[in-house]
Amino acid sequence: MSSRSTRRILDRAFTGLGGFSTLLLAAALLVILVPILIKGFGAFVFRETVEHRRMLLDLYETGDRAAVETEVAAAAKAREPVYAMLGAFKKEVEALPAPERRKLKSDCKDLEKALNSLLGPAPGTTQPILLRQRYGQNRWDRAQVAIGKVLYEEAYDYSDSSQMGKKILVPRVERFRGTSLEPLFDYVRDQSKAMLLPRWIFYGGFLTHTSRDAHFFGGIRAEVLGTFYLTLGAMLFAVPMGVIAAIYLVEYARDNWLNSLIRSCVSTLAGVPSIVFGLFGLAFFINTIHVSGSKSVLAGSLTLGLLILPTLIRASEEALRAVPHTYKQAALSLGASPWKSITTVILPAALPGILTGIVISMGRAAGETAPIIFTAAVSVGQPLTLLKTLTQPTPALSWNIYNLCTEHEAVDEIRHVQYGMVFTLVLLVLLLNLSAIVIRARLSRKLRV
């Protein structure tokens, strides 16, 4: 009796443990994915300001010119009091005694900088050289940060000498108490919507627009295209090689030392760190056989192809081995040559498994970073035409996510681009894996009744 109840307890415990670990895994996935997806979604759906519409019209020629011009005019009208107050204040300052004048002038310069960042260059001033300074805040969420910088300035509180200075926010209006600029701050706070006209939009151009001025404006076309080229190239190289190698190993290779050596090499290669593949790609494809003068999509594709080759071979091998031996016998007994039996019976029957392997390695190729750092990826670049992939490097999602998060000059200002890229990559890989499942289910249903 007791052994039976022990068995039952153990059984329950095991079931519980299994369920618990599955739940834990799902929870971890949610904790990671949900914030990424939500924040990444913000790259596509957000409240755009009139500055964004103006930028889109100027740089990408999208949008209704007449409507945008009307809105720009309306916004300019709302901004008029700001510039009027500034003009009046500047005249007022000239009449003041020198020390006070100098101080207020410098304060005013800081204020103007904050205002330019919010609204763009003041009317009547010369066009700034940097593209990023030619427009005010594109996104309402960023605009609110910029409004904060107009209304408040950072200062340090040194009153407690035992501690480091503490960062505090001081209302900027204090500096202009009693001057004609005092009402400006209330005006900016209350009329910000009239000056920027925020509106919800879906910005599909995030995928199709080329970034301008290092991702300050526009989308991620070059990165998406780069990832597409790299993945496609890797598949073009690896799929035929992988499937043929698997056919050789399953159907033709005899059991001798050479073939078992090949098999263990394939298994070992599957476990080699991807950075090693990157180094190999640089050393072999670029420096030794010179497929291109320097980094190029071609070299990157070959390296990625090499990286996924072992996975592909193993998946195809498994799929081919799972085909019942009787199919081959039947084909041969009907007068098929071994090769014919493979192409007409064995490969079609193994296709669901092979396709799953292909799609999963496609996801891997799309997301790998280390191999392309050495062989194909650049931080900033234009979208490539097909022919240029033979010689030119490209930005790609995986590498540029890292690059934009660590090496960009204004990391904080382009958070939405970073998350948008991660979102796109995660979605791409999820989609590929999902399609693997669907393809497999469909083909299996077609083959098995």
Is 349 a residue that touches other proteins (CB under 8 A)? yes
CA angle 218/424/31 to nearest 5° reads 125
CB of 343 to other proteins, least distance (A): 9
Q: What is the DSSP string of 268-280?
A: HHHTS-HHHHHHH
Is 232 a residue that touches other proteins (CB under 8 A)? no
CB of 275 to other proteins, least distance (A): 42
- Binding part of the chain for other proteins, among 8-16, 158-166, 325-333, 370-378 by CB under 8 A, reads 325-333
Binding mask 84-113 for other proteins (x = CB under 8 A): ------------------------------
Residue in 65, 335, 386, 387 binding other proteins, rule: CB under 8 A = 335
DSSP label at residue 344: I
DSSP β-ladder status, 199-202 and 166-171: unpaired
- Binding part of the chain for other proteins, among 72-80, 224-232, 344-352, 408-416 by CB under 8 A, reads 344-352
Count of residues of this chain found to bind other proteins when the rule CB under 8 A is applied: 23
For other proteins, give the closer residue by CB, 224 or 323: 323
Residue 162 DSSP SS3: coil
Is 254 a residue that touches other proteins (CB under 8 A)? yes
Place of tokens 């995030």: 206
Output the six-digit token pair for 385: 């035409």
Is 127 a residue that touches other proteins (CB under 8 A)? no
- Binding part of the chain for other proteins, among 105-113, 263-271, 385-393, 440-448 by CB under 8 A, reads 440-448
Is 187 a residue that touches other proteins (CB under 8 A)? no
Output the six-digit token pair for 293: 């003068």
Is 329 a residue that touches other proteins (CB under 8 A)? yes
Is 439 a residue that touches other proteins (CB under 8 A)? no
Quote the distance between the C-alpha of residue 22 and its chain's center: 28
Please answer whether residues 175 and 93 qualify as being in contact, where contact means their C-beta atoms are separated by less than 8 angstroms: no
For other proteins, give the closer residue by CB, 146 or 345: 345
Cα separation, 144 vs 137, whole angstroms: 9
Residue in 173, 331, 377, 425 binding other proteins, rule: CB under 8 A = 331
Residue 171 DSSP SS3: strand
Is 163 a residue that touches other proteins (CB under 8 A)? no
Give 3-state DSSP helix, strand, coil % of the chain, rounded to 5: 70, 5, 25
Is 41 a residue that touches other proteins (CB under 8 A)? no
DSSP label at residue 377: B
- Binding part of the chain for other proteins, among 101-109, 212-220, 271-279, 337-345 by CB under 8 A, reads 337-345
For other proteins, give the closer residue by CB, 7 or 445: 445
Residue 275: CB atoms within 10 A of its CB come to 13
Is 257 a residue that touches other proteins (CB under 8 A)? no
Axis-axis angle for helices 182-196, 140-151 (nearest 10): 170
Residue 156 DSSP SS3: strand
**Binding footprint of other proteins on the chain (CB under 8 A):** 254, 324, 326-337, 340, 344-345, 348-349, 446-449
